Chains A and B, each alone.
Chain A
Amino acid sequence: MRSIVWPLLALLVILHHDFWFWNDPTLVAGWFPIGLLYHVGLSLVAAGFWLFVVKCAWPSELDESSSTDSAEKSAEAPQA
């Protein structure tokens, strides 16, 4: 899964440079400029992309260190 993270990110960066809507003042539904709507959509896609990274490409060694930290904290906590 990790191997597709960088190509996907590169694709999103390319999609960010949307020359196809550059000079297009079309109003979607009569009010939403299409160039802005596209970029709002891109922000939503970015959130989805980072959700994918967190779920599928999270560095496992960090989880290990987090669980070690939690274990240490439990050990340090006063016993009832």
Chain B
Amino acid sequence: MTSLTIIGIYLVILLALGVSSNRLFRGTSLDYMLASHSIGPFLLLMSLFGTTMTSFSLVGSTGKSFAVGIGVYGLMASSSALLHPLCFFMIGLKVWKLGKTHGYSTQIEYFKDRLDSQRIGWVLFPVVVGFVIPYVLIGILGAGGTINAVTQGVFPDAFASSGGGVPPWLGSLVICGVVLTYVFFGGMRGTAWANAFQTTVFMALGVITFFVLVKGIGGKESFFESLQAASSAVAPGKLSREAVPHRLYFAFLLVPFSIGMFPHIFQHWLTARDANAFKLPIVVHPLFVMIVWAPCVLIGTWASAESAGIPAGLPSPRILAHLVNEHSGEVLSGLLTAGILAAIMSSLDSQFLCLGTMFTRDILGRRRDGDEKKSIFYARLFVVAIVAVCYALALLASTAKNVSIFNLGIWCFSAFSALFPVIVAALYWRGLTKAGTYASIITTAAVWVALLRDADWGNNTHYSFLGQHQIVTLVAASTIALIGVSLITKRPSETTLAKFFPDHHSD
């Protein structure tokens, strides 16, 4: 019960912070959606990092390391430490400048202008939203599962069917409700504040978790001896990358590029106060990735040893929560769970706000009457609807057999990585055409669905196509369609090209 009380207090603090940011609200849709381009270096760093790190980074990485060992860090973390800042530098800065100059609030507004195509949104919108939804589900499912695991046995009568813990559907519902409330009232500013707070919380508590679990798993008097005991109990195969095929490892280099097309990251880029605000995130992001991922990978690897006492058949998303429950007191257990939830919610809020913004701007369009109150009303209405739909989908997904957070995430990231060539070409290649963009987006969607179906809707965790991971197939297909069709179709007008490539002369 103590754990649950601490989680409750944490959620109340978060609500108070998010809602109090409403006092700075300027009453415009630009402020609600983009915080009036006022976000400085620190908040941008925390927002970008908090949004990038989700339950996938804490719960998923621990579970995956439990299965394959330390190779998970190289697969996902060190590549992200290197390539996420590349996306901030090469894509984010350009997007920010274009957004500020031309007043964009969403990706689709940019693509409409860049390609001279008002209808590009009809294709891009459903595809992007369709690919974001699994990412949102990762967070919702992770939150429900975490709360359930940490409250096991607290309510033996009321929730007997869920092991005496808060049922996942209820935990997910509460988390969705909290995030919805502060996004509803605080908009982008509330989201940025909440992200900064939550990122601080989950990083600090992550480090504390690590120290506590070292002692718990290692079981020795001194910290250093516990480290040695925990590592020496692990099978040698998990202490190297023996279980990770070279081809898969190489393919995973494409995963970090997915953030280049995440619509919620795109929206965060647009909130920056100036170009200099990007410097801190570009430099510090790799360090933050290391601080979060290295302890999780070590803990997951240690948990794979028989002496760690993980019950056979425990689902991988439950491993971190199980360890926390086993090896810490109730107070710490509650705090650490709050940290995990912080990581999850700091992504969910941006995703919900972004989807609401996209529906408002890309479906309803900019209001010609300039009625800001109506724009904000619709943005909020869409945020509520999005949360409701995502929650319902999460309930459906939770009934599916063998839902792996890691695999669900990889399918989602694969799709966005396949769309990455579209944004690169839009920003750097004058030869990109409207038809080439349509071809790339449609090819990505069609190939993604075909491969996912072929992989038994994600349940085949060792799926490959022609011996390659799906991300390679998707990126190759998308790129070929983009370049091939662009080379044989008509470019946008010279006026449009001059607008986006002012330093180039027509050829």
What is the minimal beta-carbon distance from A15 to any residue of chain B, in angstroms? 9
Residue in chain A with minimal CB distance to B72: A36
Most-contacted residue by chain A among B71, B231, B237 (CB, 10 A): B231
Which residues of A sit under 8 angstroms from B93, Cβ to Cβ?
59, 62
A71 to B25 alpha-carbon distance, docked (Å): 24
A18 to B79, CA, bound (A): 12
A69 to B232, CA, bound (A): 57
Cα distance A24–B74 in the bound complex, in angstroms: 14
CB closest chain-B residue, reference A42: B78
B326 at the interface (CB under 8 A from A): no
Contact residues, B245-288 vs A (CB, 8 A): 246, 249-250, 253, 273-276, 279, 282-287
Residue of B whose beta carbon sits closest to that of A27: B231
* Residues of B close to A22: CB separation below 8 A: 240-242, 246
Q: Pick the interface stretch among B46-54, B290-298, B339-347, B444-452.
A: B290-298
Q: How far is the CA of A29 from the CA of B230 in the complex (A)?
A: 13
The interface residues of chain A lying within 8 Å CB-to-CB of B230 are: 31
Partner of B250, one of A17, A30, A43, A54: A17
Q: Which of B7-15, B81-89, B350-358, B477-485 is the interface stretch?
A: B81-89
| Docked pose: A72 CA to B46 CA in angstroms | 27
Contact of A35 among B89, B227, B240, B286 (CB under 8 A): B240
Closest residue on chain A to residue B37 by CB atoms: A69
Which residues from 28 to 42 on chain A have a C-beta closer than 8 Å to any C-beta of chain B?
Answer: 29-33, 35-36, 39-40, 42
CB contact under 8 A between A35 and B232, given known A46-B82, A47-B283, A53-B282: no
Q: How far is the CA of A62 from the CA of B231 in the complex (A)?
A: 48
Which chain A residues border B289 with CB–CB below 8 Å?
43
A47 to B73: give the CA distance in the assembly, Å: 16
Across the interface, do B240 and A63 meet the contact criterion of CB distance under 8 Å?
no
Q: Within the complex, which residue of B100, B239, B286 is in contact with A46, where a contact is CB–CB below 8 Å?
A: B286
**How far in angstroms is the closest Cβ of chain A from B469?**
15
Task: Digitize B50-88: 1 where CB-to-A-CB distance is under 8 Å, 0 elsewhere.
Answer: 000000000000000000001101100111011001100
B283 touches A35 (CB 8 A): no
Q: How far is the CB of A60 from chain B (nearest CB, A)?
A: 10
Given A27-B231, A31-B228, A46-B81, A65 contacting B275 (CB threshold 8 A): yes
Q: How large is the interface on A (under 10, 10 to 19, 20 to 34, 35 or more residues)?
A: 35 or more
CB distance from A45 to the nearest CB of B (A): 9
Chain B residues near A46: list those with CB within 8 A: 78, 81-82, 85, 286
- Report the bound CA distance from A21 to B74 in whole Å: 11
How distant is the Cα of A65 from the Cα of B277 in the complex, in angstroms?
13
Of listed B100, B294, B301, residue having the most chain A CB within 10 A = B294
Q: A16-B82, A59-B93, A65-B97 are in contact. Are A33 and B231 (CB under 8 A)?
A: yes
Q: Please tell me if the beta carbons of B79 and A16 are within 8 angstroms of each other in the complex.
A: yes
Contact of A33 among B100, B286, B290, B301 (CB under 8 A): B301
A34 nearest CB across to chain B (Å): 8
List the B residue with the shortest CB-CB distance to A47: B286
A44 at the interface (CB under 8 A from B): yes
Q: Which residues of B contact A62 (CB under 8 A)?
A: 93, 97, 275
Q: A27-B232, A30-B228 are in contact. Are A42 and B82 (CB under 8 A)?
A: yes
**B277 vs chain A, min Cβ distance (A):** 9
B130, CB-defined interface residue at 8 Å? no
B329 is an interface residue with CB less than 8 A from chain A: no
Q: Are A16 and B89 in contact (CB under 8 A)?
A: no
A9 to B224, CA, bound (A): 36
Partner of B294, one of A9, A40, A59, A65: A40
**A56 in the interface, Cβ–Cβ < 8 Å?**
no
Is the CB of A23 closer than 8 A to any CB of chain B?
yes
Check B236 for interface membership: any CB of A closer than 8 A.
yes
- Selected A-B contacts with CB under 8 Å, 24 pairs: A16-B82, A19-B246, A21-B240, A21-B241, A25-B240, A29-B228, A30-B227, A32-B227, A35-B70, A35-B71, A35-B74, A35-B241, A36-B70, A40-B290, A43-B290, A46-B81, A47-B81, A47-B287, A51-B283, A58-B279, A59-B93, A62-B275, A63-B275, A69-B100
What 9 new A-B contacts, CB under 8 Å, besides A26-B239, A32-B231, A44-B286? A23-B240, A27-B231, A30-B231, A32-B227, A36-B294, A40-B73, A46-B78, A63-B276, A65-B275
Which residues of A are interface residues toward B (Cβ below 8 A)? 9, 12-13, 16-19, 21-27, 29-33, 35-36, 39-40, 42-44, 46-47, 49-51, 53-54, 58-59, 62-63, 65-66, 69-70
Q: Which 10 A-B pairs have the closest CB atoms?
A: A62-B275, A25-B239, A25-B236, A31-B227, A66-B274, A43-B290, A43-B81, A46-B286, A39-B78, A47-B286
